[in-house]
Structure formats: structure tokens, C-alpha cells
């Protein structure tokens, strides 16, 4: 048709012999344009496959309708599932989403913030990296009044909205589950201590022990990085104790699967010798053997909640809110010793 890549209002106007203003109005069903005119314009726009140039509109209105996301990584099911929830809500509200990964690194996380600001996203939804202990890059966003919502791993409490799981409760519930089923010496494998989620889940764990008047043993608590290898190492440490734990609570799916592998490789049985509970999503817990008892996050819902929260902030200035998305303890084979287990 014409050599230019995109059709503009001007192109349409020239072809129809009218002004750009008229074409613009006709296309958005302005009441001040003639019925017949509207028809003609729309017909040609359809034929020529006209699409409004989003950059012109963003330039004009200063609202690019883009939301930025920062996650530690995108391949972990937990995050991709949350992203999925965010994207769906965003799309329904005619927002695009740009996803960036910090790869659990502080420096890269700062870069992500920088990149998103350069793209001029309207707001950011983030989950901080394991490494991050300084939050200046996020504080600067608050100063610039860029709406900001954290999920799962949060910071700057009270200064921006966040979506979290009921961490303390779930840590307590898992621990109580062990206690109800006869285990008294319970190991806890967590991630870096400075993370809120670690603190809170550990808090729940300790709380349950206290309530049941179980003495707390420091060496049963191992908090390092949340990687597969560290999980193996932590489990090895626990099992090598003079008096090893009868049960282990692992703080995410990588750690849980690592613990499971290590326990098995040492020739111990799950749950008879060591019971195991993880934090994970439903997908893979069923594939392993025994099926993994786990605290299940409603990841998709967390994404939906995060995006809704951000949209609220985008629409009007609002004081920070905190949304707690409940978890559930799904009991499978890895935690309950069958009544016959002691006879075997």
C-alpha cells in the first residue's frame, strides 16, 4: 500500500480529504462528529489496519500503562506463577508488564530498578533478592512517588504496600503438625537470617516449640543460602549431629527437595526415620516419593493481589496496605509415620 511501516492519522486524513482532528474524533466515537463521517473514517482505518501510536499517546499523557516487575528469577515456579497472576490482572486493565530478574544479586537488583525507571514504568512490583540488605534504591522510588508493591520478601514496612503469606502461622502449623505426630526434635532449614520470611517462619517454629515446652536447640536451626547445594549441606549437618532431628522443616522447595535427596542417600527412610515438610507449590510435591507434605502458597492469588494493590495506588494516592494471603498445610506422605512404622 504505502511504504511507511505504520499508518498515521495524517495518512487517513489526507486520503479522506478531512483534517486530522476529525479523524481522531471519529475514531473515538466523539459525539461531535457526523454519523456518515464516522463510518467513512472507521472503514478506511479498518482497511488500512490503523493502530494508534502508543508512544505518541504516552508522550502526551505521560501514562505509558506499563508495570515493572522485579523477581529474583523467573524460572522458579513460585515466581513464574506469581508473575502469571500479575500479568493477567495487568492485561485485563490494559497494562503491559515488563519483567526483570535480579538473579538474587543486589547489584543486579539495583540495575533492574534503574532499567525500569528508564523505561518509565508507572509502578513497580518487586520481591527483593536474597543478598539485599540495603534498600536505598527502593527508598529512592518512594521519594520519586513511584507506586511500589512488594510481595513475599518485603521491606520498608509501613512505607509501601505488600503482599505476604502468613509466614509465622504456617511455620507454627508445620511445627505443630510434627509435634502432634510424635516428633519432638525438629530441625529447621532456612535462608539468610535477614530476610523477613525466614525470621517470621522461624518465629512460628519457635513459638510452637515454646508452647509445647520443647527445649530449643540452636544447632537444629541452620540458616544459610537457599540453594540446592546449601540444602544438601544443611541436611548433612543436621543428620551428623550426635542426636539428629526426627523431623525437618525446610523453608522452600529447593531446600525441601535437597533435604529429601540427602536423607534418602544416607539410607534413612522418610517419614519413619526423618519426617519432612517443605514450603512449595502443589505441582512437584506429588511427583516425588514419598509425596512431600508442604505448606502451599496461593501463588497465582498473590500475583493477583499484588497487581490489584498497585493498580489502586496508580489510580489514587493511598496509604500503604498489607495483604496476607493464607497458606495451607497439605499433608502427604513425607510427614506422617504410619501406625505400623515402629513395628517394621
Phi, psi of 96 (to 5 degrees): -95, 165
Residue 294 burial (10 A CB sphere; 0-12, 13-18, 19+): buried
- Binding DNA by CB under 7 A: which of 9, 67, 186, 294? 9
Q: Which does 144 bind (CB under 5 to 8 A by kind): DNA, a second copy, none?
A: a second copy
DSSP bridge partners of 187: 248
The binding site for a second copy (CB under 8 A) comprises 5-6, 51-56, 58-59, 62, 64, 73-75, 77, 80-81, 83-84, 87, 91, 96-101, 115, 117-120, 144-145, 257, 260-261, 264, 284, 286-289
For residues 44 and 28, give the distance between their C-alpha atoms in angstroms, rounded to a whole number: 14
Q: Which does 223 bind (CB under 5 to 8 A by kind): DNA, a second copy, none?
A: none
**Please, what is the minimum distance in Å from the beta carbon of residue 30 to DNA?**
7
Of 10 and 91, CB closest to a second copy:
91
Q: Cβ(173)–Cβ(207) under 8 Å? A: no
Which residues, 6 or more positions from 254, have their beta carbon under 8 angstroms from its beta carbon? 76, 226, 227, 228, 231
Contact set for DNA, span 38-77 (CB under 7 A)? 50-53, 56-57, 59-62
Q: Which does 80 bind (CB under 5 to 8 A by kind): a second copy, DNA, none?
A: a second copy
**Please, what is the minimum distance in Å from the beta carbon of residue 95 to a second copy?**
11
CB atoms within 10 A of CB 228: 12
Cis peptide before 126 (omega within 30 of 0): no
35 interacts with DNA by CB under 7 A: yes
- Binding DNA by CB under 7 A: which of 14, 34, 180, 184? 34
- Binding DNA by CB under 7 A: which of 1, 29, 32, 267? 32
CA distances from 21 to 38, 41, 45 (A): 12, 12, 14
**Please, what is the minimum distance in Å from the beta carbon of residue 287 to a second copy?**
5
Choices 14-22, 123-131, 140-148, 225-233 (CB under 7 A): range interacting with DNA? 14-22
For residues 277 and 177, give the distance between their C-alpha atoms in angstroms, rounded to a whole number: 9
For residues 219 and 241, give the distance between their C-alpha atoms in angstroms, rounded to a whole number: 8
Residue ranges that bind DNA, judged by CB under 7 A = 4, 6, 8-10, 17-22, 24-25, 27-28, 31-35, 37, 50-53, 56-57, 59-62
Amino acid at each position: 500500500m504505502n511504504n511507511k511501516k505504520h499508518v498515521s492519522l495524517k495518512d487517513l486524513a489526507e486520503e479522506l480529504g478531512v483534517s486530522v482532528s476529525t479523524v481522531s474524533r471519529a475514531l473515538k466515537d466523539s459525539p461531535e462528529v457526523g454519523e456518515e463521517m464516522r463510518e467513512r473514517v472507521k472503514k478506511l482505518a479498518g482497511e488500512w489496519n490503523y493502530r494508534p501510536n502508543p508512544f505518541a499517546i504516552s508522550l502526551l499523557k505521560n501514562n505509558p500503562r506499563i508495570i515493572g516487575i522485579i523477581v529474583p528469577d523467573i524460572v522458579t515456579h513460585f515466581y513464574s506463577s506469581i508473575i502469571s497472576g500479575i500479568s493477567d490482572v495487568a492485561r485485563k486493565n490494559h497494562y503491559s508488564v515488563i519483567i526483570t530478574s535480579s538473579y538474587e544479586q543486589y547489584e543486579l537488583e539495583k540495575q533492574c530498578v534503574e532499567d525500569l525507571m528508564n523505561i518509565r514504568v508507572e509502578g513497580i512490583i518487586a520481591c527483593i533478592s536474597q543478598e539485599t540488605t540495603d534498600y536505598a534504591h527502593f527508598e529512592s522510588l518512594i521519594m520519586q512517588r513511584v507506586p511500589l508493591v512488594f510481595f513475599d520478601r518485603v521491606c520498608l514496612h509501613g512505607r509501601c504496600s505488600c503482599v505476604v503469606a502468613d509466614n509465622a502461622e504456617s511455620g507454627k502449623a508445620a511445627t505443630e503438625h510434627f509435634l502432634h505426630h510424635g516428633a519432638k526434635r525438629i530441625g529447621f532449614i532456612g535462608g539468610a537470617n535477614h530476610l523477613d520470611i525466614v525470621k517470621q517462619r522461624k518465629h512460628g517454629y519457635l513459638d510452637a516449640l515454646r508452647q509445647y515446652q520443647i527445649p530449643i536447640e540452636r544447632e537444629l536451626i541452620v540458616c544459610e543460602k537457599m540453594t540446592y547445594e546449601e540444602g544438601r549441606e544443611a541436611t548433612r549437618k543436621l543428620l551428623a549431629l550426635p542426636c539428629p532431628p526426627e523431623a525437618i522443616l525446610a523453608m522452600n522447595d529447593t531446600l525441601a527437595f535437597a533435604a529429601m535427596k540427602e536423607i534418602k542417600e544416607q539410607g534413612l527412610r522418610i517419614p519413619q526415620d526423618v519426617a519432612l515438610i517443605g514450603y512449595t507449590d502443589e505441582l512437584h510435591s506429588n511427583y516425588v516419593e514419598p509425596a512431600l507434605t508442604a505448606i502451599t502458597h496461593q501463588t497465582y492469588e498473590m500475583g493477583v493481589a499484588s497487581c490489584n494493590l498497585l493498580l489502586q495506588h496508580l489510580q489514587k494516592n493511598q496509604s500503604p496496605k498489607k495483604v496476607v494471603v493464607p497458606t495451607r498445610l497439605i499433608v502427604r506422605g513425607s510427614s506422617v509415620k504410619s501406625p505400623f512404622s515402629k513395628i517394621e
